[in-house]
Each structure stands twice: as structure tokens, then as C-alpha cells.
Amino acid sequence: MASFFDSFTPREVARISAHGRRVKLPEGWSPIWEDTPADKAYILLEGSVSVRRDGSEIAQLGPGDIVGEAAIVGHTLRTASIVALTPLVAIHFTDSDLKELLEEMPSFREKVTALVQERVGH
């Protein structure tokens, strides 16, 4: 499965990672709730999550996937909730961390923008 990091150089991956902080989240935890303000995003390193809209699963994401970015980029409320199916290890980004990366790294901005367009198109 393709990772969000695949298109970045090791140096870019280190730079992206340095903007966030590594966190561990327990199974069953919901770090992102539908219809709430976009204040954080995560890149999953270990574990998997269920993406749910109106209580129904619309996708499962795992290591290398980014979650929570669409609402930050689109300046909207959350369109889905995320529930940890397993214990997670992830990089947590505040909205300002993510906005800094989007401004400073054109490659990051392009990748996130393309991903948001792909997901919103679903």
C-alpha cells in the first residue's frame, strides 16, 4: 500500500516529522470528530483507523496515511470521525504546524492538496 511519505525524500520526511510530535493513542480512541473545528491532523505510523461519516465506515486507513488534513486545508468543519481500530503511533500536527508545512514545502502542499481533492471527490 502506498504511503503518504513515498513521494518525499528522506530529508523531507524528517522535516515533516519534525513539525509534529509523536504520540501513542489507544484502541477505540477518536482523535477526530465529525462536525468539529479542524485543529489537528495526524500521519499514521503504526496501527489502523476507521473513517466514519454519520456513524458508517467509509474507509480504513493505516501506516503512512494522513488524517484530518482536509478540513484544515479547506477551512471547514470535519466531514468524518476517526476511530482507532488498533493502538496507534502517529505524528500529531496542530493546524498551525500543518499550515507552516504547507507554506514552507511546495512538495508537501502539492501532495496534501492532491489527496484532499481525491478524498473530497469520493
What secondary structure, in 3-state letters, does the chain show? Answer: CCCHHHHCCHHHHHHHHHHCEEEEECCCCCCECCCCCCCEEEEEEECCEEEEECCEEEEEECCCCEECHHHHHHCCCCCCEEEECCCEEEEEEEHHHHHHHHHHCHHHHHHHHHHHHHHHCC
Q: 61 with 47: CB under 8 angstroms? A: no
Has residue 116 got a pLDDT over 70? yes
Give residue 121's pLDDT.
64
**pLDDT score of 122 more than 60:** no
Tens of pLDDT, residue by residue over 35-61, are 999 899 999 999 999 999 999 999 999
pLDDT of residue 75: 85
Q: Are 25 and 31 in contact (CB under 8 A)?
A: yes
- Are 19 and 67 in contact by the 8 Å Cβ rule? The answer is no
Tens-place pLDDT, residues 63-106:
999 999 988 888 888 989 999 999 999 999 999 999 999 999 99
Domain 4-120 architecture: Sandwich (2.60)
* Domain range annotation of the chain: 4-120
Compare 2 and 4 and report the one with higher pLDDT: 4
